[in-house]
Amino acid sequence: AEYSSKAKTHRDAGDYRVEFGDASVNNSGLWVNSEIPVGAFTLYNFGGVNHRVGDAYAWTRDATSDRNIPSIYPNGFSPQIQGTIDDQSWATGLRGEVAGWNADFYASYGANKFDYWVHNSLNRSMGTSTPTEFEAGGFGLTQSIAGTTWDKYFGSAGKGFNVALGVEARKESYFIFAGEEASWQTYDADYPGGSQGFPGFRPSNELLEGRTNVGAFLDVEWDINDRFMLGAAGRFENYSDFGATTNGKLAGRYAVNENFALRGSFSTGFRAPSLAQLYFNSTFTNFVSGVAVESKLANNADPVTSALGIQPLKQETAQNISFGFTSTPAKGVTLTVDGYSVDVKDRVVLTGGFGDDDPDVGSILQAQNVSFVQFFTNAVDTRTTGVDVVSTYAKNLAGGILNASVAVNINNMSIDRVYTNAQLAGKEDSYFGRREQLFLLASAPPLKANVGLNYTKGKLFTSLRATYFDQVVIEDWVGTDDVYDARVTLDLSMSYAMSEKLRATVGVNNLTDALPTIQDSETETGGMYDAVQMGIMGRFFFGRLTYSF
């Protein structure tokens, strides 16, 4: 069982966001894990439920805004968006030996539902009769899986080889449900409709969609001799919505001596677009330079995508190559170095925005009372090359155990191609221009490094971690480059075992209160920073009690 509570954080943000910071989050969960002998087999079950409530502030509507009613909010208001997330999962299976093979038969079910509520808000088009709280609808996902895996070790060839195989079937469904009418309806065309902060999902957004897929895999690892291992794997998947795909992997490892080994691999891969990427659609309020813009995230079946010649979403495909070594250069020390190259074709991204003045889609947007539209599409090919270096060190020290680690990722992502068509001629910047490209590149910074020190002595555990975040560049709404200089954050925590089952932990993340480089307020968040990897909230203290039973 787990319960956690985190209060809101409040940070300076300029005129656009009077209230700016992390959401408050209250989270509770209960999980079960069991194993029961059944003859020569073991029946296992695990799963649980989780309930989370988050509350965050939206952009501020000042007292003179045409989205405010001064008699209700004489000083303006900052709407609060509350999300209630319910998760549940359960898996059951039977494993044991069948005809000399290790067999596992399993089935699982998972579900997620997200309900939106809006507080401290109003529907301007209703005038003074407006409520100030709204149920705004939401969405959810369910997934059912059944399958079996088998593996066996054969010692007859070389030093032996292991074979693993399996089949699996999966069914997924995705749904969107509408909010109450006042959360999305416009009652007076002269004023903005819907709940301010987050207009509710409309009946036109509602849907229930699903897909099925079946898959099978075969994995073989062969120890040719004491030094040389070869591995090969293949997987076949057939999806009901976009068809079949076959992928594979070849891998090898050669031990030069007891302390040094070379390794490498080549593989192909794929990622199916998620049901949310395929079907999510919503109308929302975006802010550009502080000005509210009614916007829409359209799904793949929307007339907007057809008018722009956008093809149905399909799977991403990838080719991966890696080569490196692993070693133990000294007692208690390990070192691994791996270089890699990953080519992703038809990467799914979120486009930039098309306005209601666009000759191809403007009339569609005007009919829907929105001024701006975005959508997911297979827009780009990327190549990412880099090196991962990981080293660990363990030593008995002063009656305790010291564990140290260093992890460095050197990375370069390039956008090799942006796919367009005849309808997008002259609209390339709206489709996937420099701004969107910089957001994608910022997801893979050129350098990231972690140094960790953990010390355990008796009932006390202490952890210190330093993280280096390299410089990234993001373009804001007015075309200015927001340059975020390199930063180092420091996290410290101490944990004490109060009993065999009860442990208390206190700590602080970002001990030195490092903050990103301050920008103007034309950022994506409306505050002084974009949502960069290092975080934007500064120093954070926490406490935790853990009871195991």
The partner residues of 193 in beta bridges, in order of sequence, read none
The count of structural domains within the chain is: 1
Residue 525 binned pLDDT confidence (cut-offs 50, 70, 90): confident
Task: Quote the pLDDT of residue 225.
Answer: 92
Structural domain for 195, as ranges: 1-217
Report, as an integer, the average pLDDT of 497-508. 94
What does the mean pLDDT of the chain come to?
93
Report H helices in 225-309.
275-279, 303-307
Q: Where are the beta strands (DSSP E) in 178-225?
A: 207-223
pLDDT of res. 135: 98
Residue 517 pLDDT exceeds 90 = no
The backbone torsions φ and ψ at residue 434, rounded to the nearest 5 degrees and listed phi first, read: -60, -40
Residue 14, domain member (yes or no): yes
Residue 9 falls inside a structural domain: yes
Residue at 170 is within a domain? yes
DSSP 322-387: EEEEEEEEETTEEEEEEEEEEEEEEEEEE---EETT-TTTHHHHHHTT-SEEEEEEEEEEEEEEEE
Q: Is residue 506 domain-resident? A: no
In this predicted structure, what is the pLDDT of residue 531?
78
Predicted confidence band of residue 148 (pLDDT cuts 50, 70, 90): very high
Residue 269: the pLDDT is: 95
Give strand pairing partners of 413: 384
Give strand pairing partners of 23: none
- Please report the pLDDT score of residue 92 as a whole number: 98
Per-residue confidence at 262, pLDDT binned at 50, 70, 90? very high
CA distance 516 to 495: 29
Instruction: Provide the pLDDT for residue 9.
Output: 82
CB of 454 closer than 8 Å to CB of 483? no
pLDDT at 368 over 90: no
Q: What is the pLDDT of residues 83-137, one digit of tens each?
A: 999 999 999 999 999 999 999 999 999 999 999 999 999 999 999 999 999 999 9
pLDDT of residue 53: 98
Residue whose structure tokens are 């907007």: 304
77 part of a folded domain: yes
Residue 211 inside a domain? The answer is yes
Q: pLDDT for 458-480, tens place per residue?
A: 999 999 999 999 999 988 877 88
pLDDT of 533: 85
Residue 373 has pLDDT above 90, yes or no: yes
Q: Where are the beta strands (DSSP E) in 39-196?
A: 41-57, 80-98, 101-119, 134-154, 161-177
pLDDT the model gives residue 191: 93
Q: What is the pTM of this model?
A: 0.90
pLDDT digits (tens, 9 = 90+) for 177-187: 999 999 999 99
Pick left, alpha or beta for residue 127 (phi over 0 → left; psi -120 to 50 → alpha; otherwise beta).
Answer: left
Using CA atoms, how far residue 31 sits from 34, 50, 88, 145, 256, in Å, is 10, 8, 10, 19, 45
Write the CA distances from 360 to 355, 424, 427, 428, 456, integer angstroms: 10, 10, 11, 14, 65
Residue 169 lies in a domain: yes
Tokens 């030094």 label which residue?
227
Predicted confidence (pLDDT) per residue in 37-58, tens digit: 999 999 999 999 999 999 999 9
- Please tell me the least confidently modeled range out of 104-108, 172-176, 425-429, 544-548: 544-548
- Residue 524 above 80 pLDDT? no
pLDDT confidence of residue 468: 97
Q: How far apart are CA 17 and CA 79, in angstroms?
A: 11
Is 405 within a domain?
no
Give the pLDDT of residue 536.
81
Q: Is the pLDDT of residue 242 over 90?
A: no
Note the pLDDT tens digit of each residue in 301-352.
Answer: 999 999 999 999 999 999 999 999 999 999 999 999 999 999 999 999 999 9
Amino acid 330: pLDDT: 94
- DSSP annotation of 477 reads T
The pLDDT of residue 98 is: 97
- Count Cβ atoms below 10 Å from residue 5 Cβ, excluding itself: 10
Contact 197, 175 (CB under 8 A): no
